[in-house]
Amino acid sequence: MDVQNWTYILVGLTFALYIGIAIWSRAASTKEFYVAGGGVSPLANGMATAADWMSAASFISMAGIISFAGYDGAVYLMGWTGGYVLLALLLAPYLRKFGKFTVPDFIGDRYYSKTARLVAVFCALLVSFTYVAGQMRGVGIVFSRFLEVNINTGVIIGMIIVLFYAVLGGMKGITYTQVAQYCVLIFAFMVPAIFISIQMTGNPIPQFGFGSTLADGSGTYLLDKLDGLSTELGFNAYTNGSKATIDVFAITLALMVGTAGLPHVIVRFFTVKRVKDARKSAGLALLLIVILYTTAPAVSVFARTNMIETVSEKAYADVPVWFKKWESTGLISFDDKNKDGKITYVANPEKNELIVDRDIMVLANPEIARLPNWVIALVAAGGLAAALSTAAGLLLVISSSVSHDLVKKIINPDISEQGELIAARLSAVGAVCVAGYFGINPPGFVAAVVALAFGLAAASFFPAIILGIFYKRMNKEGAVAGMIVGITAMLLYMIKFKLGWFDETLPDQSAWWFGISPEGFGSIAMLLNFVVSVTVMRFTAKPPQDVQELVENIRIPSGAGEATDH
């Protein structure tokens, strides 16, 4: 059976599973729609959190960027992994104890201000839409190659699927769908990694395989071979970094603190019964995430090595079928500059004849390695599971921000529960349409778009949440001023250096402030937020006594979750 038929079967089965779960677990109340009724088990919540966390950026793009950037690409690995640890240990239990549905809900109540709530809603929508654009692009890439439709059509199909179970089931439907999606995506990521690790090194454990010697008996280490291949083509040695240390630090920090401010991950800790369960599910999610994150560097090495050996200096007429298939999507392109009929793949842009979109590396990896067709199709199903699981979580954040924080808390406090549920579902429909537009017109490859979302979260939410939990003197004036300054600084930097709106041409790296890339500027914007928040707080009134007591209560490390069922 060919790849396309296998893909139809596996993707069809997984989609049928997701839709069936959504119908079975459809939400009947706002509590079920927003936080799945607050009764999810720690294991199920841990699996759902892991699926929510491991987006298309983790499944499709992270190994791709490490494949091309080598050592420099490890900043994504360090930042995202470290960020989840920060979130799980520093924020999750306290936010769960506060017991609100959304991040804007926390900020609105903690800072006793409708203005603070409005600013938080704006930031949540901005972060979520930026993040979901990357997911929709991932969906489009998978559909365009494996179901042989164009990327735009693929995005529309993905929109319809995610709309169905997000609108029908809300958080309840999304949670149990994400449990299934975690199983699909981790199986789909690990199976080809194990196959290729055995094929290249004889070691069935990919994490050990990429540091082992080759299976050809030469005694050469795989990483040494890749270093040699890279330098022969004029690239930096794969294991050497070229990024400035300050940029590596800034990107890592922005990804870490951005993680701790991501609204779609934070809301997962409100779906369990007790504070203790929030801690358990955070720990379980970390273990489940580590499986993929420790395998990604191995996958990137396998894919890069195989790609170079398969296409470099090979006759274009003899390239494998997979190359022509990906070429038809526009994600690989060959320009025979010297007219010799061979593919010249080198670092020199004037001589290089091959352009490869880094987002295809994980998806094309099984094809390059000539694995069975069912494994290739399985990876397609896994990529869709990763993208759709995160997209659903983000869409729920968008719809709940509009219906609960905007409509219920500000515009119409007397709205009925049924009315609020209808508003949430209509908001989700609108969010899917906007997300689809950004998926069709994304501002970069998946990991870069997602990194910008983390920068926005770092610049806006992280200081407000940290100070809100650990500093009872922090008041509404300081928090609002800090969020506005932080998000504005990050947006201006993105617009200037990522979209080029202020210049006729996009400025190059030499123009970056302090040598920091747009992906890392969230750390600078976050520091600005902290400084402005604390400075304004010093010159304005203290929070009311009841708010200060509330902050004290959040931090009490009692087993009170046991006694009070919070």
Q: How many helices (H) and strands (E) does the chain have?
A: 24, 2
Q: Is 89 exposed, middle or buried (0-12, 13-18, 19+ CB in 10 A)?
A: middle
Contact 259, 86 (CB under 8 A): yes
pLDDT at 558: 47
User: Could you tell me the two tokens for 176?
Assistant: 């149990």
Q: Tell me the pLDDT band of 359, cut-offs 50, 70 and 90.
A: confident
Residue type, 218: S
Find where tokens 């290249």 sit.
200
pLDDT at 563: 39
Window from 97-101, 301-305, 510-514 with minimum mean pLDDT: 97-101
Confidence (pTM): 0.82
DSSP assignment of 327-396: HHHTSEEE--TT-SSB----S-TTT--EEE-GGGHHHHHHHHTT--HHHHHHHHHHHHHHHHHHHHHHHH
pLDDT in tens, 240-251: 877 888 988 998
DSSP assignment of 85-107: HHIIIIIHHHHHHHT-SSHHHHH
For residue 431, give Cα distances in angstroms to 40, 148, 262, 464: 25, 26, 17, 25
What is the maximum span of the chain, computed from C-alpha positions, in angstroms? 78
pLDDT at 141: 77
pLDDT at 23: 78
What the chain holds in terms of domains, given with CATH numbers, is 3-312+367-564 (1.20.1730.10)
Find where tokens 């990896």 sit.
365
Distance in angstroms (rounded) separating the CA atoms of residues 487 and 480: 11
Q: Is 563 exposed, middle or buried (0-12, 13-18, 19+ CB in 10 A)?
A: exposed
Candidates 297, 298, 312; CA nearest to 228 is 312
Distance in angstroms (rounded) separating the CA atoms of residues 283 and 352: 46
Candidates 55, 552, 495; CA nearest to 264 is 55
DSSP assignment of 206-235: HHHHTTSB-TTSS--BHHHHHHHHHHHTTP
pLDDT at 441: 73
pLDDT at 49: 85
Most confident of 81-90, 302-311, 513-522, 532-541: 532-541
pLDDT at 440: 77
Residue 142 CB neighbours (<10 A): 31
Q: What is the rounded end-to-end Cα distance, in angstroms, of the chain?
A: 53
Contact 100, 266 (CB under 8 A): no
pLDDT at 515: 86
Most confident of 104-118, 155-169, 388-402, 533-547: 533-547
pLDDT at 33: 65
pLDDT at 566: 43
**Beta bridge partner(s), residue 356:** 332
pLDDT in tens, 432-460: 888 788 777 765 545 556 777 888 889 99
pLDDT in tens, 469-513: 999 899 999 999 999 999 999 989 888 887 666 665 666 777 888
Window from 92-101, 263-272, 439-448 with minimum mean pLDDT: 439-448
Residue 534 CB neighbours (<10 A): 16
User: Could you tell me the two tokens for 295?
Assistant: 């395998």
Residue type, 110: R
pLDDT at 560: 45
**Beta bridge partner(s), residue 430:** none
Q: Which position has the higher pLDDT, 379 or 264?
A: 379
Distance in angstroms (rounded) separating the CA atoms of residues 102 and 334: 48
Question: Of all residues in the chain, what percent are helix, strand and coil, respectively (each to 5)?
Answer: 75, 0, 25
Per the prediction, the chain carries an average pLDDT of: 83
**Beta bridge partner(s), residue 333:** 355
pLDDT at 200: 93
Average of pLDDT values for 409-413? 84
pLDDT at 30: 66
pLDDT over 90 (residue 119): yes
For residue 60, give Cα distances in angstroms to 53, 280, 423, 446: 13, 28, 33, 8
User: Could you tell me the two tokens for 495?
Assistant: 């617009």
pLDDT over 50 (residue 43): yes
pLDDT over 60 (residue 561): no
